[in-house]
Amino acid sequence: MIAGAAVAAATRLMTGAVVEWQCERHPRSARIYFANHASHLDFVAVWSALPPDQRLHTRPVAGRTYWERNGLRRYLSQSVFGAVLVDRATGPDDAATVARASVDRMARTLGQGVSLIVFPEGTRSTTGDVGPFKSGLYHLSCLRPEAELVPVHLENLNRILPKGEMLPVPMLSRVVFGTPFRSSKGDKDAFLAEARDALLSLRVS
């Protein structure tokens, strides 16, 4: 797709992304790429770093409110990225229902052989630190245990387009695709802690 290739090239140029692979670039089955989240550029950076053939079969998960706010964002999310748009809870009363619906929708997408890009923190960090993971990644993995879990660490995206800013500042960044993650424990909290540690291990020391 011409538009997708153009967006990917522009993103790589703007972010100066150095991409590192510690896993197979061309998986045989669907994957769940889970990354840290500090910028609206995050899923675009991960998607753009994938090989062209993999971009065709990988869909980012993103908030509906932001990506349907205007015509350009709507076009990009639907026609270029094929994003899986999810709703945010309006309050504590509907939080569990909205979260369950989002995970179910992601699981159905994975069942179609499509990979996903997700952000287990659930919201963007304002400091660049990786916050605790919400339970969605665990429940998604339970629903689709055949999907390979791959941690992805993004570096410097929070400085290129910080939370609250509209215009990106071109500078260098780094996208690291780690080795597939397999939890040694079945407990939800232990699983999420292990997944977060796997992502943090990809940081430059």
**Which amino acid makes up residue 194?**
E
73, 67 Cβ separation under 8 angstroms:
yes
Q: What is the CATH number of the domain that holds 34?
A: 3.40.1130.10
- Residue 39's pLDDT is what? 83
Q: Is 205 domain-assigned?
A: no
Q: Based on the structure, what is the number of domains in the chain?
A: 1
> Over pLDDT 90: what percentage of the chain?
56
pTM of the model: 0.92
E-strand ranges in 13-119 read 17-21, 31-35, 58-63, 84-86, 115-118
d(CA 35, CA 25): 16
**Residue 35 pLDDT level (bands cut at 50, 70, 90):** very high
14, 171 Cβ separation under 8 angstroms:
no
State the average pLDDT for the chain: 89
How wide is the angle at C-alpha 138 spanned by C-alphas 36 and 74, nearest 5°?
55
Q: Is 106 domain-assigned?
A: yes
Summarize pLDDT for 101-119 with one digit per residue, the tens: 999 999 999 999 999 999 9
Q: Is 94 domain-assigned?
A: yes
Helix, strand or coil, per DSSP, at residue 67: helix
Q: Residue 185's domain spans which residues?
A: 2-200
Q: Is 185 domain-assigned?
A: yes
Helix, strand or coil, per DSSP, at residue 86: strand
